[in-house]
Every structure is written in structure tokens, then in C-alpha cells.
Amino acid sequence: MKKIWLAGGCFWGVEAYYQQLKGVVSTTVGYGQGKTEAPSYEEVCSGQTGHAEICEVVYDENVLSLVKLLEHYFRIIDPTTLNYQGHDHGTQYRTGVYFNDPADQPAIAGFLDNKRQHYSRPLVVEVEELRNFYPAEEYHQAYLDKNPHGYCHVNLSVARPEERK
């Protein structure tokens, strides 16, 4: 199994989208890339921690390749808006792809280079090695399963039927 961490605005929708895909084994939402150890949701929302809301995706690369996983990511984000997705504003809502396997970096960079050709504005997606990740509070995990009418900026229906579990 492989892992990748994705920041795409509010982590509830990112998690709900990836949970429905074939090849995704598990997801965990949390906070990452910041300077505060084990922050709370309230601390992250203050904008003082440097953390982004991130979804950890554990996936079977024999079923879902990294490139295909990134294609899905670009279906649910606007990669040209800085610190803003849907109605969410702030540094915690930035977009980013974070990896722990250095062998993934060239594939991620190549994917973004290819995508740049399709946008008239610069892409602002961070690509970094994962520095830290702290799981969010339990009530955030699988939030949209627990709260089906909860807020979600992600269009959960863009996954094609053949891509779903």
C-alpha cells in the first residue's frame, strides 16, 4: 500500500470523494505541514499554526495509480486559487500534494507540468515532502458519512461509476 496526503480546501469533502474510489484502502483527515505539534481544529482555524487541512489517502497502486489519483484530485479542486476552495478561505484551505516516498516526486512534478498547459493562470498547488501530519479529532473523521447534509464544496458525483467501489 502507498500513501499520499492531499490538501484541497475543507478536508471533509476531499475524504468523502476519495473514500468512494476503487483502490483507496483508507482515509484519515488531519492537519499537516505546520509548526504546531498536535494542533486542535480551533488552533488550525486561527491561521497561526501554518497547518493545512489534509486528507491522508492509503491506496493500492495496483488498482489506482498515483497519476490517476492526481487526476481525481484535479477534478475536485481549483488549482489556481491560493488559500481558497469553495466558500473556505484561509491558509488552512490551501491546495497541496505531500509525499513521503521521494520516488513519487518526479511523477507529481510531471503531472503538474502537464496540467499547467491547460490553465491560463498559474497553479498554486504546493508539492512538498510530508513534514508532519496529525489526525484530526474523531468527529472530523468520515464527517460526511456521519452528517450527510453537512457542508461540502467538493462535487462528489464527478467520479465515474466504473471508478467507484
What does the pLDDT read at residue 152?
86
What does the pLDDT read at residue 116?
96
Which domains occur in the chain, in start order?
2-163 (3.30.1060.10)
In degrees and rounded to multiples of 5, residue 59 shows phi and psi of -140, 160
For residue 55, indicate whether it is catalytic.
no
What does the pLDDT read at residue 151?
85
Q: What is the chain's pLDDT, residue by residue, as a tens digit (165 residues)?
A: 999 999 999 999 999 999 999 999 999 999 999 999 999 999 999 999 999 999 999 999 999 999 999 999 999 999 999 999 999 999 999 999 999 999 999 999 999 999 999 999 999 999 999 999 999 999 999 999 999 888 888 999 899 999 999
- Number of continuous H segments (helices) and E segments (strands) in the chain: 5, 8
What does the pLDDT read at residue 40?
97
> pTM of whole model > 0.85?
yes
> Helix or strand or coil: residue 6?
strand
Catalytic residue of the set 10, 45, 55, 152: 10
What does the pLDDT read at residue 159?
92
- C-alpha dist (Å) from residue 121 to 55, 71, 82: 25, 18, 11
